[in-house]
Structure 1
Amino acid sequence: MPTPHIVVIVQARMSSSRLPGKVLLPILGRPLLARMLERLNKCQTPFTTVVATSTDSADDCIEEFCRAEHVAVYRGSLTDCLDRHEQIAQQWNADLAVKIPSDCPLIDPRIVDSVLRFYLAHQEEYDFVSNLHPATWPDGNDVEIMTRSCLHRTWAEAAKPLEREHTTPYIWDSAPEQFRIGNVAWSTGLDYSMSHRFTIDYPEDYEFIRTVYEELYPANPTFSCEDILDLLNRRPDIYQLNARFAGVNWYRHHLSELNTVSADQTKQLLTT
């Protein structure tokens, strides 16, 4: 089969309620988004990367960053991220659209490659492949692959606000009746999705991510997920920086609306 044109879509915005401007916070002298894109550039699978931001004036600085870095950027709806993905897939003529949110600055390019390789080896069998349903890797290694037709159908049919905001719930919540979905699990057999948090949503997450970069990047800019876990074994104080948020994700607000997510796949945030 011909190699499909893959477009990786990195959705980014400045208006985070818990940590405003998080995507441009400094990590070793560079914006967090730059560090994440640097990691994606280490992937072996060829793809085009497009940053998907909004037309809100607060996101002007994201467009300015992308222009300065010669990174493709699209601006669309602030709340309808599904529409952003659909418009990018059309404009960049994607055969496959890959959702990787900008709050994953520690994402391991090897994991991205492994999920893409799985899809490419089974592209006649699936409309959607991810490593999230169920998740096994530490939170913050999110990869979701949609065929162009799967994305377009989702864009046309998804109606709930959560389906528009989070892009893919209509797909995996409608399977297997509507879509053929596949999942790639961590080959170790471990499940750290609820115990280890490599994503950013709170100030403590930023401290964790900044510290991991400071500890690992100077010696090895392409440090792996395993390198991070080794560091945390040696330095449990770093693990503790954001440990209380491990397992806390957006699912917790929508358990009554989601068909394929249960309470054991999220945690409620405990205030201290």
Structure 2
Amino acid sequence: MRLGIIIQARMGSSRLPGKILKKLPEKGGRTALEHVVRRCLMVKEASEVIVATTTEEADLMVVNEAARLGVRSFRGSEDDVLERYYLAAKAAGLEAVMRITSDCPCHDPEVLGDMVRKFTGSRADYASNTVTRSYPHGLDAEVFTFEALEKAYKEAELKQYREHVTPYLYKSGIFKTVQLVQDKNTSDIRVTLDTPEDYALLTAVFEFLGDDFGLRELEELFAEKPWLSYITKPVVQKAVFSGEKEELEAAVRLLEKQDMFRAAAVIKREIN
């Protein structure tokens, strides 16, 4: 099976513009995207690594960075990311795709290899370590067949399905899905790059661990230095909701966590 890793990347970001070309650590020699590409190239089960960016002028910088790193790039729609993935996979002749985002510079190649083996061993259409979470935020990965990707591309119509690539695969109920889950749940660790706070945390992580570390070293670092998590404590993880009710329920949970019970009660009445 010809499996390729497609890294979703663009310069635009509402909370931290240009984040993928920031150096990690801050005075280091590698960009965040380089860390992602470098780690993906270590996955022996992958035939190719492709950076999928947009046709926006600013993303020529992403194309140039991919060329510098020696990997292929593909340019497609900024908003219809599902289409971008489908066309990139089709152009490369892939039979299966691993989806990685460029704001996750701490990926462990061994975990990604485990993901591929879970996917192939189960003969699933889709595998991930994100629907059922046990790995740190920032080690997120998904693997799916080209056939499933093509079906989603042709059938998925909702905006959330087009913008986020995979929700149709694990929410529609028409595909065989499996999850990679580790025994020790360390999903409270956040090492993804989305905000200035995230960048400060990741700079510290790379200064402590250097460029070559994996999941175990990451978990040990946060166990030894629990104060690291306080750097990103104010950050709210972005989420994908299947409808208004699910989004309102999430808002209630967030408000109640902040002891804003009267505001939460108002939304509860709307839901009911």
Residue 233 of structure 2 is aligned to residue 243 of structure 1: yes
1:98 alignment partner in structure 2: 98
**What amino acid maps onto 1:226 in structure 2?**
R
- Paired residues of 1:173 and 1:258 also in contact (CA < 8 A): no
- Paired residues of 1:8 and 1:50 also in contact (CA < 8 A): yes
Cα deviation code 1:67-92 (max 9, x no counterpart): 22221100000111101110011110
Ranges of 4+ aligned residues in structure 1 off by more than 4 Å: 266-270
Residue 215 of structure 2 is aligned to residue 225 of structure 1: yes
- Paired residues of 2:4 and 2:46 also in contact (CA < 8 A): no
Q: How does 1:101-140 map to 2 (within 5 A)?
A: 101-123=101-123, 126-140=124-138
Cα deviation code 1:173-202 (max 9, x no counterpart): 101xx111111111x2x3332x21111111
- Paired residues of 2:186 and 2:219 also in contact (CA < 8 A): no
**What amino acid maps onto 1:120 in structure 2?**
T
Q: Tell me the distance in 1 between the aligned counterparts of 2:219 and 2:39.
A: 17
Deviation at 1:263, TM superposition (A): 3.9
Question: 1:159 pairs with 144, 157, 160, which one?
Answer: 157
Residue 186 of structure 2 is aligned to residue 192 of structure 1: yes
Q: How does 1:160-175 map to 2 (within 5 A)?
A: 160-175=158-173
Cα deviation code 1:38-91 (max 9, x no counterpart): 122222323311000000011110111112222110000011110111001111
- Paired residues of 1:42 and 1:222 also in contact (CA < 8 A): no
TM-score by length of 1: 0.86
Deviation at 1:250, TM superposition (A): 2.2
* Higher normalized helix content (fraction of residues): 2
1:22 alignment partner in structure 2: 19
SS at match of 1:244: coil
SS at match of 1:170: helix
Cα deviation code 1:146-168 (max 9, x no counterpart): 11110000000111111101000
Q: How does 1:63-78 map to 2 (within 5 A)?
A: 63-78=63-78
Q: Tell me the distance in 2 between the aligned counterparts of 1:151 and 1:39.
A: 24
**What amino acid maps onto 2:176 in structure 1?**
R
Q: Tell me the distance in 2 between the aligned counterparts of 1:256 and 1:21.
A: 30
Alignment CA distance shift 1:263-1:192 (3 Å): farther
Unpaired stretches in structure 1, ≥5 consecutive residues: none
1:216 alignment partner in structure 2: 209
- Paired residues of 1:249 and 1:267 also in contact (CA < 8 A): no
2:198 alignment partner in structure 1: 205
SS at match of 1:26: coil
TM-score by length of 2: 0.86
SS at match of 2:6: strand
Q: Tell me the distance in 2 between the aligned counterparts of 1:134 and 1:233.
A: 22
- Paired residues of 1:80 and 1:165 also in contact (CA < 8 A): yes
**What amino acid maps onto 2:16 in structure 1?**
L
Deviation at 1:37, TM superposition (A): 1.1
